[in-house]
Structure 1
């Protein structure tokens, strides 16, 4: 174990030498490079917002749930509001993982006019 008194003297000596060295012309400049540890990600493909469906009367609306807590109740309320405002609209429910996947996305796109994606966590 290091003697605390020795550690204090060593610290003072180091600080003194450091301070004296700052004014000395022989001391070289030091550069510190700070890196961001978060990294960078590249997106394969970016999708824009789909065109808005101008009217929901008589349309089929898909409700997709990722199955997490609260999503079912949320989509129940969305369905109730749609049916109240657009009684002729048809609702189709879908569910699965967060990532819908190309196959299911194509299936849903072929069956509905619009989709509400419910995500809970």
Structure 2
């Protein structure tokens, strides 16, 4: 019986994506905090929100949680995130 070995590499070129322009300041912006849904994220985001508001004068902090920690964020959530000035994502392990 012959053994067939598969090559796991992909020869396709990845799509070229333009990076978002760097923000000059966070002052007055809306920043999203995206949680994977695990409990450990809450304490981190509490601290981050305080720092963002006090040190960087962020106008609004939006907190959202993905529906499934092991899957990509939902399309609706990513559409909302596109309206934010910046976003941080965290894994609460």
User: Which is strand-richer, 1 or 2?
Assistant: 2
What is the TM-score with the length of structure 2 in the denominator?
0.70
Q: CA RMSD in A?
A: 2.7
Q: Structure 1 unaligned runs (5+)?
A: 1-34
User: What secondary structure is seen at the aligned counterpart in 1 of 2:20?
Assistant: coil
Q: Structure 2 unaligned runs (5+)?
A: none
Q: Deviation per CA, 1:59-82: give whole Å up to 9, x if none.
A: 011111011131111111111111
How many corresponding residue pairs?
A: 84
1:1-121 correspondence runs (5 A): 40=8, 42=10, 45=15, 47=17, 49-96=19-66, 97-98=68-69, 99-110=72-83, 112-121=84-93
Runs of 4+ in structure 1 deviating by more than 3 angstroms, as ranges, are 41-50
Larger Rg: 1
Question: Higher relative CO (CA 8 A, sep ≥ 6), structure 1 or 2?
Answer: 2
CA distance in structure 2 between the partners assigned to 1:47 and 1:119 by the alignment: 24
Quick check: 2:26–2:57 contact (8 Å CA) kept in 1? no
Distance verdict in 2 for CA 1:48–1:101, change over 3 Å: farther
What is the TM-score with the length of structure 1 in the denominator?
0.56
User: Which is helix-richer, 1 or 2?
Assistant: 1
